[in-house]
Structure 1
Amino acid sequence: MVLENNTILITGGSSGIGLELAQRLIERNNKVLICGRTADKLKLAKKKLPQIKYLQCDISKPSDCERLRNWVLEKHPDCNILINNAAIVHIENFFRDDDILDKADAEIQTNLMAPIRLSKLFAPILRNNKNPSIITITTGLVYVPRTIYPFYNATKSALHSFVQVLRSQSSDSLINIIEVQFPAVDTPWHQGNPPDIAITVEEAVEKMIKGLEKGDKEIQVGKVKMLYLLSRLAPKLAFRKLNSL
């Protein structure tokens, strides 16, 4: 994959992996566009990276996904790469939380339905430009669930399955379908309490970019490959090991 002279949209681009990606990709590409829910975070990102363009929106809402599509179509029709990065998580006990179904709906809409919806909405825009690609961020937890997350594992597993189908169905299309599976990464997503095994955001993004440049379709970053292999050889052991961290 050529990571030069592109116009790239990154969802959830105001912090963490999204912001690090924006910082790395702006160096060699025409434009980097980001979106996010929080105006203050977007303004801080703009202050750090003056070259980026941003739109405040909540991609869990279908109307905001359409507004994002319309903004890109009107202002940045040369967009050729969509990076589905935005995600949320809840650390709750399913049986003890009275609001758990609302939290489930929020995660499903943000983590699963938004990437599906945006992939559909943006496909016609991407196809009109060179090097069209949809890059979707998932996790090693698609292979082994972590029990502190009642819904996150499930949404990402469903997204992993969707990307595999999308890649198969786009075999006669120009759009490049890529999945990046991250291990635990030390970002604000962990709310100040990352697991000990978490890698830095710089390392995570560096390995992602190397995989993209090599042309990999499914990029397993860090220890994800080990987790995948262990889940196939000894699934019960993989489950115990992961959830003892």
Structure 2
Amino acid sequence: MRLKNNTVLITGGSSGVGLELAQRLIQLNNKVLICGSSLQKLERAKAQMPSIDYLACDLSQEEGPSQLFDWVKEKHAACNILVNNAAITHTLDFHATANILEVAKKEIQVNLMAPIALTKLFTPLIEQNPNPAVINITSGLVYSPRAAYPFYSATKAALHSFTQVLRIQSSKRSLEVIEILLPVVNTPWHKGNPPKIAIPVEKAVEGMLEGLRKGQTEIKVAGVKILYALSRVAPSFALKKINNLS
């Protein structure tokens, strides 16, 4: 994929991996757009990167994807790359949480339904522009789920499956469909208590960019390569191993 002279929309671009990716893409002479649910974080990102444009948008609401698309279509019709990066998770006990179905619906909406809706909305727009691409950010947990997260692994596994199908169905189109599978990354997502195996956000994004430079369409970053191999040859051991990590 061409890494320069694009107009890139990154959902969840105000912190963590999305913010670091935005910074790196700007350095490569791209126009970067970001969205997020926190106006304060978006304004802070704008202060760091004056060239970006942003929209405060809640993708947990069904109308969120349409609001985001309408803004991009009106203000940045040259957009040619969509990065579905926004995601949420909850560390909860399924049996002990009274409102667990509400939690599930919100997580499924942000992590799965929003990327699907955005892909449907944006495809006609980005295909009008040179080098159109959809990049979905998933996780190594698509191979072996972590029990602490009752829904996160499932939503990422579903997005992984959708991305594979979308790539096949897009094979005769100009649209490039890319998936980036991340390991545990040290971001604000962990609220100051990241697992010991978490890699720095800079290393995660460099792994992403390296895969993109090589033209890979399914990019396994860092330890995801090991987890994938392990899940193929010894799935029960991989599941046990991922749930014993601290």
- TM-score w.r.t. length of structure 1: 0.99
Distance in 2, matches of 1:61 and 1:35, equals: 14
Is 1:112 the counterpart of 2:112? The answer is: yes
**What's the CA shift for 1:222?**
0.4
Distance in 2, matches of 1:40 and 1:12, equals: 13
**What's the CA shift for 1:169?**
0.2
Q: Which residue of 2 aligns with 1:3?
A: 3
Q: Which residue of 1 aligns with 2:170?
A: 170
CA deviations 1:114-141 (Å, max 9, x no partner) are: 0000000000110000000000000000
Q: Which residue of 2 aligns with 1:227?
A: 227
**What's the CA shift for 1:29?**
2.9
**What's the CA shift for 1:65?**
1.0
Distance in 1, matches of 2:6 and 2:213, equals: 14
Name whichever of 176-185 and 25-34 sits farther off. 25-34
Letter in 2 for 1:225: K
Distance in 1, matches of 2:59 and 2:174, equals: 25
Q: Which residue of 2 aligns with 1:93?
A: 93
Letter in 2 for 1:151: F
Name whichever of 28-37 and 214-223 sits farther off. 28-37
Q: Which residue of 1 aligns with 2:180?
A: 180
3-state SS, counterpart of residue 227 of structure 2 = helix
Distance in 1, matches of 2:220 and 2:8, equals: 22
Letter in 1 for 2:177: I
Query: 1:140 touches 1:224 (CA, 8 Å); kept in 2?
Result: yes
CA deviations 1:83-103 (Å, max 9, x no partner) are: 000000000000001111111
Matches within 5 A, 1:28-39: 28-39=28-39
Query: 1:7 touches 1:29 (CA, 8 Å); kept in 2?
Result: no
Matches within 5 A, 1:42-61: 42-61=42-61
Q: Which residue of 2 aligns with 1:147?
A: 147
Distance in 2, matches of 1:12 and 1:202, equals: 16
Distance in 1, matches of 2:46 and 2:97, equals: 37
Q: Which residue of 1 aligns with 2:16?
A: 16
Q: Which consecutive segments of 4 or more residues in structure 1 shift more than 6 A?
A: none
**What's the CA shift for 1:161?**
0.2
Distance in 2, matches of 1:135 and 1:52, equals: 19
Gaps in structure 1 of 5+ consecutive residues = none
Is 1:76 the counterpart of 2:56? The answer is: no
Pairs aligned (count): 245
**What's the CA shift for 1:193?**
1.2
Distance in 2, matches of 1:62 and 1:88, equals: 15
Matches within 5 A, 1:118-137: 118-137=118-137
3-state SS, counterpart of residue 216 of structure 1 = coil
- TM-score w.r.t. length of structure 2: 0.98
Distance in 1, matches of 2:29 and 2:82, equals: 14
Letter in 1 for 2:219: I
Query: 1:60 touches 1:113 (CA, 8 Å); kept in 2?
Result: no
**What's the CA shift for 1:30?**
3.6
**What's the RMSD between the two structures over aligned residues?**
0.7
Letter in 1 for 2:68: L
Distance in 2, matches of 1:186 and 1:27, equals: 22
